[in-house]
Amino acid sequence: MITREADYAIRCILYMSSLEGRLVNVKEIAAPMEIPQSFLAKILQKLLKADIVESVRGAGGGFRLRKQPSDINLHEVVVAIDGTMSLNRCVDDPASCELNPECVVHPIWVDVSRELEELLKSKDFRGLAEKYIRK
């Protein structure tokens, strides 16, 4: 399960993807996307560190996407906030399982994790924003 923080980050990037590169401040994103402003400010700092957004200081400053929405995918945003995505700890660290290497379920967790990762990588924010704008 992704965290609430990752969900809010996805909402934030979705909103920014619909703005065609325009600068936006925390308050402008928070209200329509129903994200607490103080929480969003922290999320934007993580997205800044991950090079997904950039900030412009000063009067009229704010945040904007560092890349085109088509070059940002769901996986990238979730990983920027939550870190690696795995269904089970053994996917990232096979030594953490006492049953390894005999575990018959381990290959299933690995396959499902890969499939989920590929699915999220295939969903870019250009396509998501087009659906969001039409609503």
Is the per-residue pLDDT at 106 higher than 90? no
| Locus of tokens 């990232």 | 92
pLDDT class of 86 with cuts at 50, 70, 90: confident
Encoded amino acid at 132, one letter: Y
* pLDDT value of position 7: 97
Is the per-residue pLDDT at 97 higher than 60? yes
Span 15-34, average pLDDT: 94
Is the per-residue pLDDT at 133 higher than 80? no
* pLDDT value of position 134: 53
User: How far apart are alpha carbons 3 and 9 in whole angstroms?
Assistant: 10
**φ, ψ of residue 67 in degrees (nearest 5):** -125, 170
* pLDDT value of position 135: 52
Q: What is the mean pLDDT of the chain?
A: 91
Contact 13, 74 (CB under 8 A): no
